[in-house]
Amino acid sequence: MTINFDLATIWAFIIAFAVFAYVVMDGFDLGIGILFPAFGVGEERDTAMNAIAPVWDGNETWLVLGGGGLMAAFPLAYAIVLPALYPPIIAMLLALIFRGVAFEFRWRDPKHRAFWDLAFTGGSFMAAFTQGIALGALLQGIAVSGRAYGGGWLDWLTPFTILTGISTVIAYALLGATWLIWKTEGAPQDHAWRLARIIGPATLAAIVAVSLATPFLDATYFQRWFAMPWVLLSAQVPLLVSLASFLFWRALKLRHERAPFLIALFIFLLCFAGLGISMFPYVVPDQITIWDAAAPERSQVFMLIGAGIMVPIILIYTGFSYWVFRGKVGHDGYH
Amino acid sequence: MFDNADALLLARIQFAFTVSFHFIFPSFSIGLASYLAVLEGLWLKTGKPLYLDLFKYWLKIFAIAFAMGVVSGIVMSYQFGTNWSVFSDKAGPVIGPLMAYEVLTAFFLEAGFLGVMLFGMKKVGPRLHYTATLMVAIGTFISAFWILSVNSWMQTPTGYEINAAGQFVPGPSWWAIVFNPSFPYRLVHTVIAAYLTTALVVGAVGAWHLLKDRKNLHARKMFSMAMWMAALVAPVQIFVGDMHGLNTLEHQPAKVMAMEGHYDSHPDGAPLILFGIPNSAEKRVDYAIQIPKASSLILKHDPDAPLAGLDTIPADRQPPVGVVFWSFRIMVGLGMLMLGLGLFSLFARVRHRLYDWPLLHRFALVMGPAGFVAVIAGWVTTEVGRQPFTIYGLLRTADSASPLAAPAVGASLVAFVLVYFAVFGFGTWYILKLMGKSPHSGEEDISDAPIRTAGITPAQAVEGGR
């Protein structure tokens, strides 16, 4: 039991890391997609696209690791959660198809560029929205019967999940805008500055709304957040969010080019930590813990060896790829 | 209106549809990534701009095919959970880690270096760029390794135990799981199929441009390379396929019975049915054209060897015969045509008519899509031939599906069909448009088109002449 305890917890953290890596890295890709209509046709849009074209594929791979890792390390959780979220997940997959092919297709087919731009924005928006819905649906709880999902196919649809969906769209847009501040100059950057000033406060409002709603979904969440001694730890999260928001605003005022993105990342990290406080050690709230869902030790050890060797290597060459494409991007492709 | 049987059938159709569509792209990009690595390697070695032109020509096509492979592949990685959750719960501890290894060792490698491969030539220089190309090519192969191990384990499960919760869990050795009995054969057969598929596509494009202008040096080079590949690899593939078939006979005899159309046992030599119409109601093959004892000769290397038929398999463990019988014949028939094309090209080469024999070029052109059809037919043979099980002999397909309402699965199936045909239809059209442009000196960079379609600029000619 002791060894299993350690392994399941380690794997919970690895998968949380993969999900977080996905959320922030594809978050700014999707955010740029969401903001795409705000940018002018031609140079501005081409620049915005170039800011992510070489890296989006690698960013999206973290989503596959999150899903594949969940199946491998916690197969029971994978088997219960995915059918419960069937419509939003299918919608997300279809949305990611439109978003992904738009990168190539819009360059190949000038006549239908407007259509593929729309597919890029629609796909990005829908992927963000459904990911937010999936998160909300998980947080609000899933009906379990035996070793399977026990609810209907529209249980996920509630006001709370719509709120988390919209919040995710706004938060991704913030990452997108701040990434463009970092990576572009001239007209698209000016545009991104203006957008960040609107989306920054909107993101804060979204965080507050979701944070206020969550503890009241379920008595357990309320207890985790407000009972002693947990409150001493959990109270740091909103305090740090307030501090980060102030720093973000200041960075925009002082026109720091990198700080807004980095601070936005930090805010995401705080929200993710808050999510962890609400959920841990459950993967399906109040029903299935990570130990209930864990694959046997042999599976988790075998994968841990692979992850231990490969994840650092992946981070190194991912870093290399970002380094190759460092600096400001132009609008006419990489030469 | 709907019941569970409908939900199951819809889920099966959805999986078959999405996986078939998906596999078209990797079967092309596995081969094309290696072809690109060869072209860039030849350019670096010889310094001939011709190879760089061909590299740039095919890189544009690769970018589109790869993107479609990625987005249709993500669907697959989630569909295990959305539609086959009972299977995922039960088999996850065994196959989940193999798929996690695929992500860790292959997907990240491909995705991480793809950006450099597509856009990084001027940023990192030719040597480092070549490394990126190699990494992408190696990544596609590693990906095939893991996912085919997973599939093979589902066909010939070994090395597992069953725990109290009814899950398949790993035994003491992962080696026994990864290198299960059908895996080496399936891996070699599938990877060669990918190379052959790519060779046929490259050959058809070369042939098309030779038919328009037989003096085009770029078209000549790609056609010649492709025809070497077809001539050398098609016979190897037929040999490997035969070995794979013998392996299947050993581990999944019912699948081979369906492929052969053997409803009845043949105690003293089974005939090889070339064509006929399987009649499962009457348990016989109508209008059969057959060679006496040839099936025993091929499968047992003895014309008089007894071969059991489906009459020895309980009805509830038999695969559907018609689909398997036909898909197998489509695959083998196309394989023979590929061999014919390879031999024809060798003959033309000997007679110094490789580039000016329109009949050969038309034949190669028609064979362009043959690899895709053969690959899908082969997969249909092996996957339908495994029915009615997901984990052969152990877990039934009917006991593997998610507890989903039929309308949910029906709606998603309709959405997948509409989106796939629309999006991948466009993608295929873009690929065909690129293939329709004749390869030429000073081939444009991937990021040039279509912003500047004016053609060759002096700077690029210098770049290409390096």
Among the partner-chain residues A58, A83, A147, the one whose CB lies closest to the CB of B82 is A83
β partners of residue B168: B162
Q: Does residue A24 lie within any of the structural domains?
A: yes
Q: For residue B360, what are its two tokens? A: 């050969």
Residue from the list B81, B105, B115 with its beta carbon closest to the beta carbon of A54: B115
| Residue B451: per-residue pLDDT | 36
pLDDT digits (tens, 9 = 90+) for A220-245: 777 777 776 777 777 888 889 889 99
Chain A residue with CA closest to B452: the answer is A332
Question: What DSSP string describes B169-186?
Answer: EE-S-HHHHHT-TTHHHH
Contacts of B71 in chain A (CB under 8 A): 96-97, 100-101
Distance of alpha carbon A280 from alpha carbon A103, whole angstroms:
37
Task: Determine, for residues A334 and B99 on separate chains, whether the beta-carbon distance falls below 8 Å.
Answer: no
Contact by Cβ (8 Å): B200, B367: yes
Cβ pair B403:A149 closer than 8 A: yes
Amino acid making up residue A48: A
pLDDT for the residue B447: 65
Sorting pLDDT into bands at 50, 70 and 90, what band is A106? confident
Identify the pLDDT of residue A176.
92
Domain-located, residue A260: yes
The reply to whether residue A296 touches residue B86, judged by beta carbons under 8 angstroms, is no
Contact indicator for B85, A295 with CB cutoff of 8 Å: no
Which amino acid belongs to residue A139?
Answer: L
Mean pLDDT of A15-24: 91
**How remote is the C-alpha of B140 from its chain's centroid?**
12
Q: What pLDDT does residue B5 have? A: 67
Reported confidence tier of residue A331, pLDDT bands at 50, 70, 90:
low
Domain for residue A102, yes or no?
Answer: yes
Is A318 among the domain residues?
yes
Q: Does B68 reach chain A within 8 Å, measured CB to CB?
A: yes
- pLDDT for B183 equals 94
Q: How far is CA B39 from CA A127, A166, B109, B435, in A?
A: 38, 48, 20, 17
A168 belongs to a structural domain = yes
Q: Does B59 touch chain A (CB under 8 A)?
A: no
Question: Are B447 and A60 inside 8 Å of each other by CB?
Answer: no
| B412–A90 C-beta distance less than 8 A | yes
Query: In this complex, do B74 and A89 lie within 8 Å of one another by their Cβ atoms?
Result: no
Could you report how far apart the first and last alpha carbons of chain B are, in Å?
68
The token pair at B411 is 């709606």
Residues in chain A with CB shorter than 8 Å from the CB of B112 are 58, 314, 317-318, 320-321
Considering only CB atoms, A53 lies closest to which of B100, B119, B451, namely B119
Rg (CA), chain B: 24
Report, as an integer, the average pLDDT of A103-125.
89
Burial class (CB in 10 A: 0-12, 13-18, 19+), B415: middle
Q: Which two tokens stand for residue B376?
A: 């899908």
How much is the average pLDDT of A194-205? Answer: 92
Residue B4's pLDDT is: 63
Contacts of A105 in chain B (CB under 8 A): 64, 426-427, 430
Mean pLDDT, to the nearest integer, of A121-138?
94
Quote the percentage of chain A above a pLDDT of 90. 34
Beta strands in chain A (DSSP E): 144-145, 148-149, 282-284, 288-289
Q: Residues B422, B408: contact at Cβ < 8 Å? A: no
In tens, the pLDDT along A242-298 reads 899 999 999 988 888 898 999 999 999 988 888 888 888 888 888 888 888 888 888
Question: Is residue A1 one of the residues assigned to a domain?
Answer: no
Say yes or no: B317 contacts chain A, CB-CB below 8 A. no
Q: Give residue B184's pLDDT.
A: 95
Q: Is the preceding peptide bond at B388 cis, omega within 30 degrees of 0? A: yes
Q: State how far residue A37 is from chain B, nearest Cα, in angstroms.
A: 20
Task: Give the pTM.
Answer: 0.88
Q: How far is CA B123 from CA A60, B62, B118, in A?
A: 23, 20, 11
Confidence at residue A333, expressed as pLDDT on a 0 to 100 scale:
53
- Non-local CB neighbours of A197 within 8 Å, separated by 6+ positions: A252
Q: Is B343 on the interface with A (CB under 8 A)?
A: no
Q: How many CB atoms lie within 10 A of CB A162?
A: 14
Angstrom distance (rounded) from CA B27 to CA B21: 11
Taking an 8 Å cut-off on Cβ atoms, the answer to whether A306 and B103 are in contact is no
CA B376 to chain CA centroid, nearest Å: 7
Nearest beta carbon to residue A78 from set B72, B81, B165:
B81
CA angle B233, B139, B147 (to 5 degrees): 80
Q: Chain B residues with CB inside 8 Å of A112's CB?
A: 426
Q: Is residue A211 part of a domain?
A: yes
As for how many domains chain A has, the answer is 1
| Domain edges within chain B | 227-401
Q: Cβ(A22)–Cβ(A175) under 8 Å?
A: no
Measure the CA dihedral B331/B332/B335/B339, to 10°. Answer: -170
Q: Which of residues 402-421 of B touch A (CB under 8 A)?
A: 402-405, 407-408, 411-412, 415-416, 419
**Considering only residues 17 to 56 of chain B, which have any Cβ-Cβ distance to chain A shorter than 8 Å?**
none
Measured CA to CA, the distance from residue A38 to residue A177 in angstroms comes to 11
Ranges of residues in chain B with a pLDDT under 70 are: 1-5, 447-466
Choose the closest CB to A105 out of B122, B169, B426.
B426
Residue B170 bridge partners (DSSP): B160
The vertex-A287 CA angle with A206 and A269, nearest 5°, equals 35
Strands B160-162 and B168-170, bridge-based pairing:
antiparallel
**Tokens encoding B372:** 């895709």
Q: Which of A67, A310, A301, A325 is nearest to B139 (CA)?
A: A310
Residues of B in contact with A33 (CB under 8 A): none
- Cβ(B53)–Cβ(B442) under 8 Å? yes
Q: With CA atoms as reference, report the closest residue to B42 among B57, B53, B32.
A: B53
In terms of phi and psi (left: phi > 0; alpha: psi -120 to 50; beta: otherwise), the region of B3 is beta
Q: With contacts defined as CB-CB under 8 Å, which chain B residues touch A153?
A: 404-405, 407-408
A73 lies in a domain?
Answer: yes
- Domain residues for the domain of A283 are 7-324
Residues β-bridged to residue B266: B307
Beta carbons within 10 angstroms of residue B212's beta carbon = 12
Are the beta carbons of B77 and A68 separated by less than 8 Å?
Answer: yes
CA B409/CA B12 separation, integer angstroms: 10
Task: List the single residue in A with minimal CA-CA distance to B64.
Answer: A104
Give the nearest chain B residue to A83 (CA atoms). Answer: B82
Contact (CB<8Å) A67/B78: yes
- What is the DSSP track for B296-310? HHHHHS-TT--B--G
| Residue B396 backbone dihedrals phi, psi, to 5 degrees | -80, 150
Q: Which residues of B343-352 are buried (b: 16+ CB within 10 A; e: fewer)?
A: ebbbebbeee
| Per-residue pLDDT, A34 | 94
pLDDT band at A27 (very low <50, low <70, confident <90, very high): very high
Which one-letter DSSP state was computed for residue A284? Answer: E
H/E segment holding residue A289: strand A288-289
How far is B135 from chain A, CA to nearest CA, in Å? 11
- What is the pLDDT averaged over residues A197-218? 87
Q: How many CA atoms lie within 13 A of A96 on its CB side?
A: 29
Chain B residue closest to A53 (CA)? B115
Q: Smallest Cβ distance to A58: which of B102, B108, B403?
A: B108
Q: With beta carbons under 8 A apart, name residues in chain B contacting A21.
A: none
Residue A262 carries which DSSP code?
A: H
Of B64, B80, B167, the CB nearest to A108: B64
Cβ within 8 Å of residue B347, ≥6 positions away: none
For residue A64, give the nearest of B107, B170, B402 by CB distance.
Answer: B107
Q: Looking at CA atoms only, how far is residue B102 from chain A in angstroms? A: 9
List CB contacts (< 8 A) between A334 and chain B.
119-120, 122-123, 447
Q: Report ipTM (2 d.p.).
A: 0.86
Query: Would the pLDDT of A97 be above 60?
Result: yes
- How many Å apart are CA A221 and CA A241, to the nearest integer? 19
Show Cβ contacts of residue B96 under 8 Å, excluding neighbours closer than 6 positions: A68, A71, A72, A73, A75, A78, A295, A299, A303, B88
Closest residue in B to A145 (Cα–Cα): B403
User: What Cα–Cα distance (Å) separates residue A190 from each residue in A46, B144, B408?
Assistant: 15, 45, 45
- For chain A, how far is it from start to end, CA to CA, in angstroms? 56
Q: Which of residues 100-129 of B touch A (CB under 8 A)?
A: 100-105, 107-116, 118-120, 122-124
The pLDDT value recorded for residue B465 is 34
Q: Which residue of B has its CA nearest to A103?
A: B67
Q: A299-317 pLDDT, tens per residue?
A: 989 999 989 999 999 899 8
Asked if B118's CB is within 8 angstroms of A54's CB, the reply is: yes
